């Protein structure tokens, strides 16, 4: 795990910083976000995505864990994230107005693309496959991209 420590430390810092930005965006535009029944869940999805990055990066930095522990941690966090995000997105799609539904469907697929590599990576790490952490890395990077998009929407687009 030593070769990955710098990557996970950087991901921890980036996700925590972006979570703060997302929190500020929600705080500044809270009235507009609450006025749309689909947007609070969308904001929460972004927080969940970043929080999972923070949790997994933190757990990957715990020294002397067996490979099995790493795999279980990634898989369980990924499953929890997938379940929460999927539920929130399905509710958001159902609540969205017809003219905006395509944005929520796109949001659903972007989040799935960010989360599913956690599941694949967790299974591969658990199985002892050497490339498993690359899937985790892909999920973390995609999560930062998707959460950045959420922050942009909640900070800028909502005010257009």
Question: Which residue is listed with tokens 């922050």?
Answer: 151
The more confident residue out of 152 and 80 is 80
* Distance from C-alpha of 7 to C-alpha of 97, rounded to nearest angstrom: 40
* Distance from C-alpha of 156 to C-alpha of 138, rounded to nearest angstrom: 27
Closest CA to 153 of 48, 29, 47, 54: 29
Question: Are residues 69 and 13 in contact, defined by beta-carbon separation less than 8 angstroms?
Answer: no
User: According to the model, what pLDDT value does residue 35 have?
Assistant: 86
Is 0.85 surpassed by the pTM of this model?
yes
Render pLDDT for 75-113 as a digit per residue (tens, 0 to 9): 999 999 999 999 988 888 887 778 878 888 888 899 999
């Amino acid at each position: 795990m030593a070769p990955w420590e710098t990557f996970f430390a950087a991901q921890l810092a980036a996700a925590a910083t972006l979570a703060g930005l997302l929190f500020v965006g929600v705080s500044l535009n809270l009235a507009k976000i609450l006025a749309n029944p689909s947007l609070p869940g969308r904001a929460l999805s972004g927080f969940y995505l970043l929080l999972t990055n923070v949790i997994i990066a933190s757990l990957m930095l715990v020294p002397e864990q067996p490979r099995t522990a790493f795999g279980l941690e990634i898989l369980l966090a990924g499953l929890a994230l997938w379940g929460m995000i999927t539920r929130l997105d399905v509710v958001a799609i159902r609540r969205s107005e017809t003219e905006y539904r395509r944005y929520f469907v796109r949001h659903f697929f972007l989040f799935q693309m960010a989360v599913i590599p956690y599941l694949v990576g967790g299974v591969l790490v658990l199985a002892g496959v050497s490339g498993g952490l690359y899937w985790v890395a892909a999920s973390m990077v995609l999560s930062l991209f998707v959460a950045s998009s959420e922050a942009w929407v909640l900070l800028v687009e909502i005010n257009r």
